[in-house]
Amino acid sequence: MEYEFTLSFKLAASEADTDTLIERLGAAGCDDALVGIGQSRRIALNFTREASSAQDAIVSALRDVRKAIPDARLVEAGPDLVGLTDIAELVGVTRQNMRKLSLAYADSFPVPVHSGSVALWHLSHVLRWLSDRGRYEIESPIMEVARVTMQINLVKEAALIEQRVRREVRDLVA
């Protein structure tokens, strides 16, 4: 099956030569990715990778990038954190329709990860909610990718939690 996802990385200061970087990525197996280098010391790879599962596709891409750029630090795997506009585009409805759903079903609609001037959700949670409602057919690959990218991002962030805080707070936030 074919899976589409994006991996964004922060680069070391020594990785300034983008042409060499792109060559190394291709040689390491990332020839199935479009490479974006718009921001200084950042790189984004938009993969379309064939694999038996989304997890296999994304983990193999992470390994390939690590081979090519050992000092690169993962910033984000996506799609994961999304706003209503992003969700609406993926599902094929308007942003207003998604907003109406979130308000009309406030008791069951997934809770945003961040709510401020812009609310953000884990795409995986919203796709599962939409799929469970039975009115929206969400393709399996995007559901899988959203689930795996969320888990990768959570693992990356969880590594930053201090043990003391983890012990004190674990049972209070679940």
pLDDT tens track for 52-85? 999 999 999 999 999 999 999 999 999 999 999 9
Output the pTM of the full model: 0.90
Q: Assess if residue 36 is contained within a domain.
A: yes
Is 156 among the domain residues?
Answer: no
Mean pLDDT value across the chain: 93
Co-location of 103 and 116 in the same domain: yes
Rounded Cα distance between 133 and 48, Å, is 29
Same domain membership, residue 72 and residue 21:
yes
Mean pLDDT along residues 148-155: 97
* Res 89: pLDDT: 94
In the predicted model, is pLDDT for residue 156 greater than 70? yes
Q: Indicate if 16 and 48 belong to the same structural domain.
A: yes
Chain segment 83-115, per-residue pLDDT in tens: 999 999 999 999 999 999 999 999 999 999 999
User: Are 86 and 66 in the same domain?
Assistant: no
Q: Is 132 left (phi over 0), alpha (psi -120 to 50) or beta?
A: alpha
pLDDT the model gives residue 174 = 67
Boundaries of domain holding 130:
81-136
Higher per-residue confidence, 152 vs 135: 152
> In this structure, are 33 and 93 located in the same domain?
no
Question: How many domains does one find in the chain?
Answer: 2
CB-CB contact of 2 with 52 (8 Å): no
> What pLDDT, on the 0 to 100 scale, is given for residue 44?
97
Q: How far apart are CA 27 and CA 64, in angstroms?
A: 9
Q: Is 123 within a domain?
A: yes
* Cα–Cα distance, 169 to 174 (Å, whole number): 9
Q: What is the pLDDT of residues 33-52, one digit of tens each?
A: 999 988 889 999 999 999 99
Q: Is residue 162 part of a domain?
A: no
